[in-house]
């Protein structure tokens, strides 16, 4: 409080301070001059006033000093309140200009504000930061929405163009024989299947992003789940001339999660390994655990590595390392994004590392917590 009073006083120019002191002394003198006739009047007409003056006469000059000092202090207090109001108005106007400058260029604002307004300025800066972040998020959302529409339109158009093209050939009887007709139907079926898969991926990703997926959590043994997945993928592996190898050194690879959703995660990574790592011949799945987590590492040995510049974007929707967006060399571009979202719903983490001849996806999931065993007394 004492520092605040001193700041207000130093805010007043010296000449003005001297003027205010003179005004206070003048008001005190004028007040005394006006009060004396009143006192003399009541001294003759009021015994109480007469008695009071007799008592005060023992203090002589001290009475006048106290009276004079009180009048001066009251005047100065009123003047201080007036100047304090001006002081705050000055800094509020100054802070308004600072906020305007802050909106135009944050780095240009380096002027300090008085302590009385420091908290307010901090709040304004926080609001400004929030507004800037909200504006950035809005632009990012618009960009992502535009990319989503563009990518979906591209990925839907390709199979639809093929389907309508072959249907036109069939409708106009432009095929040589039944063998060619069956070939056209097979191509239509493959494109329709790809189209259905893409639409399902879009719905799944949208539901995951909007938290509309409810996990059916149960106890899941990941070693058994992955072993079963590899067994079921034998035929697909043989088609691409690959072999899956599995090893687990985990003591208790048990998590609490949705088994079907976790299967979707491993299927997407497995499919990614078969698509891009087939020249490496093998897909290795390794399970380990710590006291609190289970670690699943899935590695393929494709010759081409994911470029380091693309690593941060591998789990983004519709991102493909190859840029042509061809359905022959890539999927919907949503598989890894869906995998990351499902892992996040399980409070886990998914990472990727890649170098020529080896690309690994590592999934870390929290281990199921069991209540402590109570020993019998």
- Residue pLDDT, tens place only, 40-49: 555 556 666 5
Neighbours of 211 (CB within 10 A): 9
The per-residue pLDDT for range 136-171, each reduced to its tens digit, is: 878 876 776 676 677 667 667 878 888 898 899 888
| pLDDT at res. 352 | 92
pLDDT band at 191 (very low <50, low <70, confident <90, very high): confident
Beta-carbon contacts of residue 343 (< 8 Å; ≥ 6 apart) = 265, 349, 350, 363, 365
| pLDDT at res. 325 | 41
Q: What is the dihedral of CA 173, 178, 181, 186, to 10 degrees?
A: 160
Which pTM value belongs to this model?
0.56
Beta strands in 230-308 (DSSP E): 243-248, 254-257, 282-289, 293-300
pLDDT band at 321 (very low <50, low <70, confident <90, very high): low
Cβ–Cβ under 8 Å, residues 128 and 103: yes
Cβ–Cβ under 8 Å, residues 327 and 338: no
Neighbours of 96 (CB within 10 A): 11
294/289 Cα distance (integer angstroms):
4
pLDDT band at 81 (very low <50, low <70, confident <90, very high): confident
| pLDDT at res. 226 | 92
Phi/psi of residue 243, nearest 5 degrees: -135, 135
| pLDDT at res. 52 | 58
| pLDDT at res. 376 | 52
- Tokens for 48, please give them: 């109480």
| pLDDT at res. 328 | 42
283/278 Cα distance (integer angstroms):
9
| pLDDT at res. 221 | 92
Hey, what domains does the chain have and what are their CATH numbers? 2-111 (no CATH), 143-209 (1.10.287.130), 218-366 (3.30.565.10)
| pLDDT at res. 102 | 62
**Collapsed DSSP state (helix, strand, coil) of residue 187:** helix
Q: Phi-psi bin for 159: left (phi > 0), alpha (psi -120 to 50), beta?
A: alpha
């Amino acid at each position: 409080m004492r520092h605040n009073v001193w700041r207000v006083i130093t805010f007043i120019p010296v000449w003005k301070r001297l003027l205010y002191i003179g005004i206070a002394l003048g008001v005190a003198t004028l007040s005394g001059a006006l009060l004396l006739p009143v006192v003399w009047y009541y001294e003759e007409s009021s015994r109480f006033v007469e008695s009071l003056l007799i008592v005060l006469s023992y203090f002589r000059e001290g009475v006048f000093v106290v009276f004079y000092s009180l009048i001066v202090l009251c005047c100065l207090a009123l003047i201080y309140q007036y100047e304090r109001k001006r002081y705050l108005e000055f800094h509020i106007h100054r802070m308004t200009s600072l906020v305007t400058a802050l909106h135009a260029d944050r780095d240009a604002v380096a002027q300090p504000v008085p302590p009385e307004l420091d908290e307010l300025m901090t709040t304004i800066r926080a609001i400004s930061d929030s507004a800037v972040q909200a504006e950035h998020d809005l632009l990012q959302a618009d960009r992502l929405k535009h990319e989503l529409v563009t990518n979906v339109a591209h990925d839907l158009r390709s199979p639809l163009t093929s389907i309508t093209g072959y249907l036109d050939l069939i409708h106009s009887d432009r095929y040589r024989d039944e063998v060619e007709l069956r070939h056209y139907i097979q191509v239509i079926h493959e494109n329709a299947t790809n189209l259905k898969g893409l639409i399902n991926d879009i719905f799944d990703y949208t539901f995951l992003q909007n938290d509309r997926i409810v996990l059916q959590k149960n106890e899941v043994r990941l070693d058994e789940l992955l072993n079963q997945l590899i067994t079921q993928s034998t035929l697909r592996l043989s088609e691409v001339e690959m072999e899956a190898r599995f090893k687990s050194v985990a003591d208790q690879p048990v998590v609490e999660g949705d088994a079907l959703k976790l299967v979707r995660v491993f299927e997407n990574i497995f499919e990614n390994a078969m698509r891009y790592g087939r020249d490496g011949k093998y897909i290795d799945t390794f399970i380990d655990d710590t006291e609190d987590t289970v670690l699943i590492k899935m590695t393929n040995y494709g010759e081409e590595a994911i470029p380091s510049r693309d690593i941060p974007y591998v789990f983004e929707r519709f991102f493909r390392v190859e840029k042509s967006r061809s359905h022959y060399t890539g999927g919907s571009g949503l598989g890894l994004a869906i995998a990351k979202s499902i892992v996040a719903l399980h409070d886990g983490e998914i990472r990727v590392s890649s170098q020529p001849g080896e690309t690994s996806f590592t999934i870390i999931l929290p281990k199921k917590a069991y209540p402590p065993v109570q020993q019998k007394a």
